Amino acid sequence: MNAIDLMQDCFVRVSDTLPHLLDGLSGDDLLWRPGPKANPMAWLVWHISRCEDSELDALTDIPQAWGQGWQQKFALPYPPEDGGYGQTNEQVAAFNVSDPDLLLGYFYAASARAAKVLEQERAKDLDRIVDTNWNPPVKAGTRLVSVANDITQHLGALGYVRGLVETR
C-alpha cells in the first residue's frame, strides 16, 4: 500500500459514512444548531464537500464540481469561492439549504472529482510544491493530508450533531 492508496481509503470511508448520517432527517433537523455558534448538519455537509472540491485545486486542472451548476443550485449568499473557512456566526446562520438530496448530490460530485484527482496523483511526486502562499510552501502530500484532516474532523462533528438531533 502506498500513500495514494491510504488517501483513497480515507476519502472512501468519508464517502461511505456521510450519507448514512443524514438518513431519516428533516430539513429542520439539518438546519438545527445545537448552540448559538454551532454549525448545523447541512452546513457541515456543504463544508466537507467544498473542502474536497476546492482544496484539491492546487493539484489538478480538473474543474471543481461547484462550478458545474452546483453553485447555482445552492444559491447561497456567499461569494462563489467561499467554502466556509473562517465564516462568521452570521454567515453560518445564513446557510439555508435543507434538501438532503441537494446536499448529497454535491457531496457525491465533489467526492467523484476528488477520486479522479487522487488517481492522477499516483503518477506524480507528492513532494512537489503546490502552494507558495504559505511558509513553508505546501507540498502535494501535505495538501492531501490537510484535506483528509479537515473532512474527517467535520465528519466527526456531523456525527456528533446527529446524535444531538436524535436526543432533542
Domain ranges of the chain: 3-167
pLDDT in tens, 7-27: 999 999 999 999 999 999 999
Q: What is the pTM of this model?
A: 0.96
For residue 114, give every residue at least 6 positions away whose Cβ sits within 8 Å of its Cβ, in sequence order, or none. Answer: 11, 52, 53, 56, 147
Q: What pLDDT shows up at residue 29?
A: 98
Band the pLDDT of 34: cuts 50, 70, 90: very high
Sole residue written with cell 499516483: 122
CATH 1.20.120.450 fits 3-167, yes or no: yes
User: pLDDT-derived band of residue 55, with 50, 70 and 90 as boundaries?
Assistant: very high
- Per residue in 101-143, pLDDT (tens digit) is 999 999 999 999 999 999 999 999 999 999 999 999 999 999 9
C-alpha to C-alpha distances, 60 to 20, 90, 101, 110, nearest whole angstrom: 29, 33, 27, 13
Mean pLDDT, the chain, rounded, equals 97
Q: Please name the residues in contact with 128: beta carbons below 8 A apart, sequence gap of 6 or more.
A: 139, 140
What is the C-alpha to C-alpha distance for residues 51 and 102, in angstroms, rounded to an integer?
Answer: 17
